[in-house]
Amino acid sequence: MRFLFRVNLPLQGFEVVEAADGAAVLELVREQEFDLVLLDVMMPGLSGFDVAEHLDGIPFIFISARADPVDVQRGLDLGAADYITKPFDPIGLGDRIEAALVGRGE
């Protein structure tokens, strides 16, 4: 998935910074400012749900194979701007990112 994002999102005008696991995501957001974070629910170490609890003020979108309504609702309850289930249209992802950014006034 990270490769897909690294290749496709810059073609749509987005800058991409990668993290291999949940702890790395938290380290990056402490060091840099981000407009939006893409999270998978199932990441090594800390889950996407765990990471989301620490993203104070940073909008995030879940992209996950976990499509159970309970998981989707949990993600939205944690404050996700969107919850996208796999498989998904990688081209349409840019539109959903734009919608999340517009929703926060970007």
What pLDDT digit, counting tens, does each position of 54-102 carry? 999 999 999 999 999 999 999 999 999 999 999 988 888 999 999 999 9
Confidence check: pLDDT of 47 > 70: yes
Domains of the chain: 2-97 (3.40.50.2300)
pLDDT computed for residue 71 by the predictor: 97
Mean pLDDT of 28-53: 96
- Nearest Cα to 25, choosing from 5, 7, 45, 6? 45
What is the total residue count of the chain? 106
Kindly state the tokens that stand for 74: 């949990």
Chain-wide mean pLDDT for the chain? 93
